[in-house]
Structure 1
Amino acid sequence: MRTVLTAIAVAALAVLTALAVTVLPFYDSSRDRVTLPLMIGGSWLLFALAVWLLRRVPTRAAVTLVLVGAVAIGGAAMAGPPNTSTDSARYAWDGIVQNAGISPYAHVPTDPALAALRPSWLFPAPVTRADGTVGCPGPAARIMASTEPGGATLVCTAINRATVPTIYPPTAELLFAGVRALVPREAGYWPMQLLGLLASLGITVILLLALRRRGLDPRWAALWAWCPLVAGEAVTNSHIDSVGAGLLLVATLAVATGQRWSGGVALGAAIATKLIPVIGVPALLRRQPWKLVIASVTTFLLLYLPYLISSGPAVLGYLPGYLSEEGYDDGSRFALISVVARGRTAFVVAAVLLVVLAVLVALKTDPRAPWVGQLVMIGVTLLIVSPRYPWYGLLLVPFVAMSGRWEWLAVPLALLARQLEPHLVVLRVGELLAITLIVLVGLARSGPPRREWFRLRGGFGR
């Protein structure tokens, strides 16, 4: 009966995931602003219920449910196009450009030199409206009006920031090129969604194997496999962060078993996917850090080398402009710190906190179980830095699963709430609630009486 009830909850989560993608498109200007957040909130409640029910399911049946549920929920997430982000449009374009033998850092998407490469789903033709004006078809948030460099020619595109070069590092760019080499140019969003699904399933399998080999409860893998954030951001919106998260997980597991050279290679590839996995370095430095550093830096540089040769300093792309645009140069982005410090002072406070955090994690992390150090390093960094986008939380979720500390999922949930209701106060309240939950559950886990639910080791329950 417990197995059946868990399966029903997972099936309901898959159905609700598909409905949220297809019935309530985020970019539809006529949509109401209540139903979609309610459906996403409902998916998180179903996720919590399914994980809670899984505690009492026999281990073998639980592993099967975790895998089948990951496929069902991930497949449901592919039921429609991206619904809260258009980043995968840039992924596709970068891949198309590379497969034409052109560096993705050499031209902006609206450059007329690349006009012959433009597929209609990324660059729909302008339309003449009833009042005689010329504009772009579709919701304005999905199809954006832009112009060619140095001219007034209207360009309609699904690519955001189409007048600036790409921001993505080489591991990501190689994946974009590889995916687009396998499909026709007119293939839409689904190839990157499929990559996201495969990455998600790969991480699920790695978690199941790693947990069992270390005598931990494989049920914890459900915290990644069924997570609505993973379905929405790794699959529907196809964010490449999931690949970076997987590579950082591989690096962490390798280092935990003494494989520092191979761990360093995986770490370098992870950092070359989205740069942000660099915050995973401190938790891996307790023993023979020089091996890790040499391997990761070498891997990172080798991946960048072909692009450096072809594009030179242009490989930085829009990264400096992006950091300025997001408010990190003047400190306005730090949600909690900005309550007590503004401008450059907020930036300095954040930098000091991050350095102190990194030193503490490097000194205190158990080298045999570095995933707990990763959990703290990544989770607290997200709370300090306060990114606008929930998909940055994908880097945290595998380590939530490895440690079984489910309460840390409140961090990406706070980021998600801010995306759905884009007000700074929402993010501040969400982060404060996340901190409160983490502290309270941590105290309950460490102090008497120690209940099965809160144990770090020994499973969800027997």
Structure 2
Amino acid sequence: MRIAVVSLLLAASAAMTAFSVLAYDLFKPGRDTVPLVICTAALWLLFALAVLALRGVRGRAVVVLILAGSVGIGAAAMVGPPNTSTDSARYAWDGIVATAGISPYAYTPADDRLDDLRPDWLFPAPELTESGDLECVGERIQTAQKTQSGDLLCSALNRTGVPTIYPPAAEIFFAGVRVLTGPEAEYWPLQFTGLLLSVGTTVMLLVGMRRRGIDQRFAALWAWCPLVATEAVTNSHVDMLGVVFTLAAVFLVTGRRYWTGGIALGAAIATKLIPVLAAPAMLRRQGWKVTVAAVATFLLLYVPYVLTTGIGVLGYLPGYLSEEGYEDGTRFALLSLIAPGGSAVIVAGVLLTVIAVFVIWKTDPDQPWLGQLVMIGSALLILSPRYSWYALLLLPFIALSGRWEWLLVPMALTLRLLVPSIPLTRVAIMTAIVVIVVMSIHRARPGIAQRVFSRRWLSLSKPGG
């Protein structure tokens, strides 16, 4: 009966995932985000119910259900094109440019010199209106101008006037996908790759947990999470590749394979930079080996692009940080309340440094995932990015540590993406912080919450209380 209940909940999650991809997106003109928010909330509820129901399942059925859910929900996420992000269009373009033998850092997508490479699905031709004007048509299609000629350019890419922002491991990945599929395949190659990577992460977690005596049911916190289906598969964010490299690094380092673990960590950082947050917890033992291997790998991956493009390999990163408000501090949802303007950057830097030192000092080198959970989760709470897919890196460490309360972090970031309201974001982040702190105290001192509330209740029950 318990297996049947979990199976039904997973089937419902897969069906709801497919429905949300087909029915809702953030690109429709005059869109109403309320239905998408409600559908997303329903997905998280089904996820929570399935995880709770799994607690009653024993034996091999646990592994079978976790894998089946990972594959089924992930496959359901492939039924339609990206619905909340256009990043995968840029991934495809970078891959197409690279397979043509051109550095993706050398030219902007709007450069006239790349006209011969443009596939119609990424750069549709402008359509003639009744008034005789040309305009760009399509939900995901943006209007831009070519760099040299100034001609109208219709594009599925965002930021066509700036060079790519992605590090070299990501660019190699994009090129590899396009070598296999060619330029005309649309969104499905990256979605399918995202599915393979997400299921592969599920397998890594299951194997790693079994070898380390961790309850394998916690792997469901990754395998069935709505964020994985949405951001790793539907929207195909390259963060998923960074997760794979980071998790591999963790298991290698805890297996005393420090050099290879450092290489995997360097590849992770050269995919999306954010995995550097996972590094402090891996430095307690033989940290110099991990550091040297990671830095060497990171730099070696950049060498071919530096030789062809020079300083251009920085791409749009400086401009992106400024655009996102990290340069003047406006992006920090909570810190901006107490440290307005540029001072928020300083406060954030100090906080993250203190947390990193604490993580290095207190982390058990044989079980670094709790330290990584604290480092990555705290960074996301402090930096409060607009993009929920940054939290993909947090999920494996929630699973390894079993600290379910940290799921409130990706939930808060998802809410921020769908409902861009600073007051609402602040409430969501504060709620996450309060729950995490309370649960952390409870885990450190079991029963403390019950004792506190019991004493409070007794004092109120006394005459005159």
Q: TM-score range by the shorter chain?
A: over 0.9
Identify the residue that residue 278 of structure 2 maps to in structure 1.
Answer: 280
3-state DSSP of counterpart to 1:185: coil
Q: 1:437 deviation in Å?
A: 1.4
Q: 1:158 to 1:44 in 2, by over 3 A?
A: same
Q: How large is the RMSD of aligned CA atoms in angstroms?
A: 1.2
* Counterpart residue number, 2:460: none
Map of 1:446 onto structure 2:
444
Match of 1:167 among 156, 162, 165: 165
1:329-355 alpha-carbon deviations (Å, 9 max, x no partner): 111111110011111211111111011
Q: Which whole-Å CA distance do the structure 1 matches of 2:27 and 2:259 have between them?
A: 45
What's 2:110 paired with?
110
Q: Which residue of 1 aligns with 2:218?
A: 220
Cα distance in structure 2, aligned partners of 1:176 and 1:447: 47
Q: CA deviation at 1:397?
A: 0.4
State the partner residue of 2:78.
78
Deviations 1:296-351 (A, max 9, x none): 11111111111111111100000000000001111111111001111121111111
Amino acid at match of 1:434: A
1:199-243 CA deviation, whole Å, 9 max, x = no partner?
Answer: 101100000001111111111111111000000000000000011
Cα contact 1:59–1:218 (8 A) shared by 2: no
**Shift in Å at residue 427 of structure 1?**
1.3
Amino acid at match of 2:183: R
Q: Identify which range, 357-366 or 22-31, moves more after superposition.
A: 22-31
- The offset of 1:13, in angstroms, is 0.3
1:61 deviates by: 0.3
Structure-1 separation of matches of 2:184 and 2:206: 37
2:146 corresponds to: 148
Bigger drift between 403-412 and 130-139 goes to: 130-139
Q: What amino acid is the match of 2:371?
A: G
1:137-216 to structure 2, matched below 5 A, reads 137-139=137-139, 142-216=140-214
1: CA distance between counterparts of 2:352 and 2:93?
Answer: 35
How far did residue 442 of structure 1 move? Answer: 2.0
**What TM-score do the two structures reach when normalised by structure 2?**
0.95
2:456 matched residue in structure 1: none
CA offset digits 1:33-84 (Å, max 9, x no partner): 2211100100000000000000111131011000011000000000000000
Name the stretch that deviates more: 419-428 or 267-276: 419-428
Residue of structure 2 equivalent to 1:47: 47
- The answer for the alignment partner of 2:376 in structure 1 is 378
For residues 345-382 of structure 1, the C-alpha deviation after alignment (integer angstroms, 9 at most, x for no partner) is: 11111111011011001111100100110000000000
Aligned residue number for residue 255 of structure 1 = 253
Do the aligned residues in 2 keep the contact of 1:240 with 1:274 (CA within 8 Å)?
yes
Q: How does 1:21-420 map to 2 (within 5 A)?
A: 21-139=21-139, 142-420=140-418
1:31 is displaced (CA, Å) by 3.6
Give the aligned partner of residue 2 of structure 1: 2
Does the Cα contact within 8 Å between 1:59 and 1:219 map onto a contact in 2?
A: no
Q: Deviations over 1:105-155 (max 9, x none)?
A: 01111111110100000000101223333210112xx21000011332000
- The match for 1:423 among 399, 421, 435 is 421
User: Is the contact made by 2:112 and 2:148 (CA closer than 8 Å) also made in structure 1?
Assistant: no
Write the letter of the residue equivalent to 1:313: I
Farther-moved stretch of structure 1 (260-269 vs 32-41): 32-41
Paired position in structure 2 for 1:14: 14
Between the two proteins, the alignment pairs up a number of residues equal to 449
3-state SS in 1 of match to 2:153: strand
**CA distance in structure 2 between the aligned counterparts of 1:216 and 1:15, rounded to whole angstroms:** 30
Q: Whose Rg is larger?
A: 2
Name structure 1 gaps, 5 residues minimum: 452-462
Provide the C-alpha distance between the structure 1 equivalents of 2:275 and 2:262, rounded to a whole number of angstroms: 12
Q: State whether residues 97 and 103 of structure 2, in contact with CA within 8 Å, keep that contact through their aligned partners in structure 1.
A: yes
Q: Unpaired segments of 5 or more residues in structure 2? A: 450-465
Whether the 8 Å CA contact 2:88–2:237 is kept in 1: the answer is yes
Structure 1 Cα separation of the partners of residues 380 and 332 of structure 2: 10
Q: Secondary structure of the residue that 1:182 maps to in structure 2?
A: helix
1:30, CA displacement in angstroms?
Answer: 4.4
Alpha-carbon shift at residue 88 of structure 1 (Å): 0.4
Query: Any conservation in 2 of the 1:333–1:387 contact (CA below 8 Å)?
Result: yes
Return the offset for 1:396.
0.3
Query: Contact conserved, 2:26 with 2:33, CA < 8 A, in 1?
Result: no
Amino acid at match of 1:357: I
